[in-house]
Homo-oligomer: A and B are copies of this chain.
Amino acid sequence: MKLNMMYSFLKADIDLIEKELEKAIESHSPLLSEASLHLLQAGGKRIRPVFVLLAAKFGRYDIQTIKNVAVALELIHMASLVHDDVIDDAELRRGKPTIKAKWDNRIAMYTGDYIFAKSLEYMTNVEAVEAHKILANTIVEVCIGEIEQIKDKYRYNQNLRDYFRRIKRKTALLIAVSCQLGAIASGAEEPIHKKLFLFGYYVGMSFQITDDILDFTATEKELGKPAGSDLLQGNITLPVLFAMTDQSVKEKIILVNEETTKEEMNSLIELIKRTGAIEESHKISQRYLDKALGILEGLPNGRTKKTFRDIANYIGKRKY
């Protein structure tokens, strides 16, 4: 089943949010609008808005209220992607040139700032003080994660804990908070906030591990960028950490640099695959997924819970 078929009952509201996102990034500056629209139109799964809406189904669902949270969270995610691309010196995202590639790093930096600022405008329509505090703390954590990621690049003596802490800040927290804020902003009961936070956190961890696996197992066409891009940019992901337990593979991995050719990378990817690192990573991803599904048990039965489960399963098993 395709992802968007799983929440077809939300289609009208998701379409509304897509329109709102387009409206959000319109600005008096043609350059800013163009750069932001370029990013928006590159697509994305809109996982965060979908989770916000689903979570709000456990409270008093009002799309006019909850759309502000959904739009704000997707904008924060988009802003972080733009700044990520600057750091990673990435040329392609989802098969399209990145903002830093199409314009330059300076434009990318301010486009990220601008999209982030727009997210704040949407958040000012949300009344719950708690929601603001949680979001502000989360953004601080995301920023710390981003700077730690720079430090951890090409640092081959890092351990699994470094990796998990990094992907928590980089991905899992914002997905967790999407679920949590959907519940808070719709006035769902407090135990549900916490459960949804945990569900989102576990799904987010599984999601990022899957993403890091796909960097090695998916095709360039599926990825929208060359396979092995993460490793080429010095990002040490879970499959790499597992592969490096084999000393002879590690010796090859630490030689990767900007001059590594596509052929060299492809044979290194084959080598990494042969260590069993992909299977081991899948196991960890599945463990997080199981934890996420376990949390769902404690939520009221119904269409919403079923959809959360379907999406979680999809995310853990997706091919790209």
A residues whose Cβ falls under 8 Å from a Cβ of B = 27-29, 31-32, 83, 86-87, 105-107, 109-114, 116-118, 120-121, 123-124, 127, 129, 132-133, 135-137, 139-140, 142-144, 146-148, 150-151
A147 touches B28 (CB 8 A): no
A83 to B151, CA, bound (A): 20
Known interface pairs A124-B129, A124-B132, A151-B31. Does A110 touch B146 (Cβ–Cβ under 8 Å)?
yes
Residues in B with CB closer than 8 Å to A135 are: 120
CA distance A132 to B124 in the complex (A): 6
Alpha-carbon separation in the docked complex, A31 to B146 (Å): 12
Quote the shortest CB–CB distance from A148 to chain B (angstroms): 6
Q: How distant is A69 from chain B, measured CB to nearest CB, in Å? A: 15
Contact (Cβ within 8 A) B87 A106: yes
Q: In whole angstroms, how far apart are the Cα atoms of A29 and B142 in the complex?
A: 12
Copies held by the complex? 2
Q: Is the CB of A147 within 8 A of B87?
A: no
Bound CA span A297–B218, Å: 69
Distance between A8 CB and nearest chain B CB, rounded to angstroms: 34
- B residues near A148, Cβ cutoff 8 Å: 29
Chain B residue numbers with a CB within 8 Å of A112 are 113
Assess the A117–B146 pair: CB atoms within 8 A.
no
- Report B-chain residues with C-beta under 8 Å of the C-beta of A27: 140, 144
- Are A140 and B124 in contact, CB atoms less than 8 angstroms apart? no
Residue of B at shortest CB range from A125? B133
Q: Which residues of B contact A140 (CB under 8 A)?
A: 27, 114, 117-118, 120-121
On whether the beta carbons of A107 and B150 are closer than 8 Å, the reply is: yes
Return the chain B residue nearest A145 by Cβ: B29
Which chain B residues border A129 with CB–CB below 8 Å?
124, 127
CB distance A136 to B113 under 8 Å?
no
Q: How far is the CB of A196 from chain B (nearest CB, A)?
A: 21
A118 / chain B contacts, CB cutoff of 8 Å: 140
Instruction: Kindly provide the distance from the CB of A79 to the nearest chain B CB, expressed in whole angstroms.
Output: 9
A319 to B129, CA, bound (A): 44
Set of chain B residues within 8 Å of A121, measured between Cβ atoms: 133, 136-137, 140
Interchain nearest-CB distance for A78 vs B (Å): 14
Contacts of A111 in B (CB 8 A): 147
